[in-house]
A and B are shown apart, each in its own frame.
Chain A
Amino acid sequence: MFDFITFIPRAVMQGIPLLFGSTGETLTEKSGNLNLGIPGIMYVGGICGVIGSFFYEAGKSAAEMNAFLAILIPLLCCLLGSLLMGLLYCFLTVTLRANQNVTGLALTTFGVGFGNFFGGSLIKLSGSELPSIILTNTSNIFRRHLAVGDSTGAFGKLFLSYGFLAYLAVLIALAAARVLNRTRTGLHLRAVGESPNTADAAGVNVSRYKYAATCIGSMIAGLGGLYYVMDYASGMWTNNAFGDRGWLAIALVIFTVWRPNVGVLASFLFGGLYILHMYIPSGMNLAVKELYKMAPYVVTIVVLVLSSMRNKRENQPPASLGLPYFREER
């Protein structure tokens, strides 16, 4: 029998970084910016958090650490790092109107390099024998969950066994959905992504919305990197361990047809697909697990194709996605 009780929490934990990433990217894309730098931004978010806590944790025992500071410092570092990445992307694509694809890819090159470089430097600094940094104490604080989670059996395991960042991810996704669909800011943002001309004519400040959405989106995505290191990986940073999760987050945006609230369940589904191979008796065939890992991308392609075939307007990418806006060209 398939063991759902162990499978689902694992899938959720796999899904949370993707959820952060896709919520951030959805906000960004809603403003018409296709930020392919998200994978890099998530790396930067992760490593900045690691750097922060590395220096806080250094030389302290678990008892000496102030739980509040242990969380606040990495959190702020992570947000600052990803904010700077978002600002850089905006400056190049919005202010200087550079090509979004090229800028995004450059940002990813830079971000992944940044993460691995400082990761590598910290590993050297820590004098560790293994090619990784372990921040167990900080991680333990990040992973704290309610005590009732352990005593309430299956329910606790399914719903109460996660660190606070996981709940934050869900909250942010739901809040993002609400902002997009129910508030004036969201309305203006959607208008900017669909038709910057019209929004501009109606008095919406297009550049300001693009900047704000992209920067906030980057910070949210950065949290995904932080969650991955501090919670999922138990505080262990290994270079390249984050892998291609950033691209998976972009796939998730398409899969959810630009709806962050759908992203909550969809990210768990993606997380599940990612680790499904471990739970399915594949006859000892290791190869098959690689095919299972393909699943999220394949279903994303299917969704992309189906939504373009059905041509339902709500399910299309924002109409101005990837295009720079220059008022004098209208």
Chain B
Amino acid sequence: MDNKIAAVTMRNITKRFGPVLANDRVWLNIYRGEILALLGENGSGKTTLMNMLSGIYFPDEGEIAIDGRPVVIRSPKDAFDLGIGMIHQHFKLVDVLTAAENIVLGLEGKLDLKAASKRIREICGAYGFEVDPEQKIYDMSVSQKQTVEIVKVLYRGADILILDEPTAVLTPQETDKLFAVLRNMRDDGKAIVIITHKMHEVEALSDRVAILRHGQFIGDMPTKMTNAQEMTNMMVGHAVTLNIKRPDPVDPKPRIEVKDLTVRDIEGTVKLDRVSFTACSGEILGIAGISGSGQKELLESIAGLQPVESGSISYIGDDGRREELIGKDPLAIKELGVALSFVPEDRLGMGLVGNMDLGNNMMLRSYRSGRGLFTNRRDPYKLAHEMVDFLEISTPSVETPVRRLSGGNVQKVLVGREIANAPSVLLTAYAVRGLDINSSYLIYDTINAQKMRGVAVVYVGEDLDVLLELSDRILVLCGGRVSGIVPGRGAKKRDVGMMMTKLGGNAHEQ
């Protein structure tokens, strides 16, 4: 195998986004007749690396060769011409067109949908896809849409296929089907790369695995020669000491009780499956999990933004009164006297209004408190001034639209506003994503201060090191189910990592 000419050779690839080093001198070979699993945590640079192969990004440094021949890939069209096709996580399909119409979109020559359908059926027959060329995209399930994307790439003659977390949106049965198809394609001599962070998929599907961590290439080896434990170690690395303060919980009492919570999205996919846990006052409950394991739905269910299929979410007040939160919108929850704050993942699309200034954004939570018909404008601006001083927000003025602030400052505005109305429950999603070290520590300190006030904090995070040092308890989600709840003190990074990829982690294997 080592003597074969690689279908793709990436040498010394470096890519920066501003100050962030997304890929740092990465070397990677991709061979025909082989399925390569590109493994790494969120933010390890897997997708960036593959985007450079498919013409979305252009590398800052390094070279790419196809079949040993150096090439320059500047656009998706260039990539197609070289036989490279990538299936992105977000499908690029026109809803009201049929599968066949989407597949031939952008090609040239006379439109002959019959001939196209015939070829599509041939491709489907050859690899075992099930696509009806005449079906409209809006009638399709997510997995069917994904199949259309794959066929689209094959139709254009791609023989190097890259799939970015293709199973994230699929049910286990659909995943099995996809894997069968991918194996067929491998046997047909195509080179296949699958980006993933799920260990069992690597083991089930791939011939070879390459691991990235923090933008760097860690190593590659034949899948047969390794095991889940070794791969996890390579993926997460050794625990790093961050020295985040973790004061002892203050008089923890149950505050939010979630029982058998089940949530489906619009398409009917189960996002949360009988999730139960209790969040206590005066402690931080960390939520760990691969992205898309149901974290968003969990927080939005508690905040009253997500329709719930079944289960219950109770709020228990200091005086012992219980309030059911399901079926209530944010306003109704507020009117119950439940001071619930929520720092959502989508800061400018949900938590804040980008075109409004700091003061107006402060007002989002408090505008109803004004007298009579009018908003109280003085207090929010006063609050904005305080916030700028207290959280060291760098902004020209409180009249600056938040869209024009840097990511870290936007987050400070959001967090600041959410803690300003003395919450008893604080939900945060990826509170430090995209923030520099100093801002991150400021946010940790702020969250800890809330905990000391007796607030029940639910902290959804993606960096395991942080979760391990910040949380009093860690709830691990895997595919919408609770994989386990472990105490934050003394938890092992590897164990939590295993629980993220497999229900119950190692416990099941033993």
Contact = CB atoms under 8 A, between A and B. Distances in A.
A and B touch in the complex (CB under 8 A): yes
A298 interface: no
A182 B105 contact: no
A57 interface: no
Interface in A65-88: none
Contacts of B138: 313
A199 B105 contact: yes
Given A183-B111, A188-B105, A191-B105, A198 B93 contact: yes
B95 A184 contact: no
Contact of A195 (B95, B104, B109, B111): B95
A192 to B, nearest CB: 9
Interface in A160-212: 182-184, 186-188, 190-191, 194-195, 197-199, 201-204
Interface in B98-119: 101, 104-111
Given A184-B110, A313-B136, A191 B92 contact: no
B92 A197 contact: yes
B77 interface: yes
B95, B97, B106, B109 — most chain A CB neighbours (10 Å): B106
B332 interface: no
B96 interface: yes
Contacts, number: 55
B146 to A, nearest CB: 15
A184 B92 contact: no
A195 B94 contact: yes
Contacts of A187: 97, 101, 104-105, 111
A3 interface: no
B317 interface: no
B327 to A, nearest CB: 25
Interface residues of A, number: 21
A212 B106 CA distance: 17
A201 B108 CA distance: 15
A298 B175 CA distance: 51
B76 interface: yes
A202 B79 CA distance: 12
Nearest to B91: A198
Interface in A284-328: 313-314, 316, 319
Nearest to A185: B111
B457 to A, nearest CB: 36
Contacts of A184: 104, 107-111
B17 to A, nearest CB: 16
A243 B357 CA distance: 47
Given A187-B101, A190-B97, A313-B136, A198 B109 contact: no
A198 to B, nearest CB: 5
A319 to B, nearest CB: 7
Contacts of A201: 76, 92
A7 B225 CA distance: 86
A191 B97 CA distance: 8
Given A182-B111, A313-B138, A199 B106 contact: yes
B305 to A, nearest CB: 23
B96 A313 contact: yes
Interface in B102-154: 104-111, 136, 138
Contacts of A319: 95-96
A202 B94 CA distance: 11
Contacts of A204: 105-106
Contacts of B111: 182-184, 186-187
Contacts of A198: 92-94, 105
A186 B106 CA distance: 11
A202 B92 contact: yes
A259 to B, nearest CB: 13
Contacts of A188: 105-106
Contacts of A191: 94, 97, 105
A313 B139 CA distance: 10
13 contacts: A182-B111, A184-B104, A184-B107, A184-B108, A184-B109, A184-B110, A184-B111, A188-B105, A191-B97, A195-B94, A198-B92, A202-B92, A316-B96
Given A202-B106, A319-B96, 14 more contacts: A184-B109, A184-B110, A186-B111, A187-B97, A187-B105, A188-B105, A194-B96, A194-B97, A195-B94, A195-B95, A198-B105, A199-B94, A199-B106, A202-B105
Smallest CB-CB A-B distances: 10 pairs? A202-B106, A184-B111, A203-B106, A202-B105, A198-B92, A194-B94, A195-B94, A191-B94, A313-B138, A313-B96
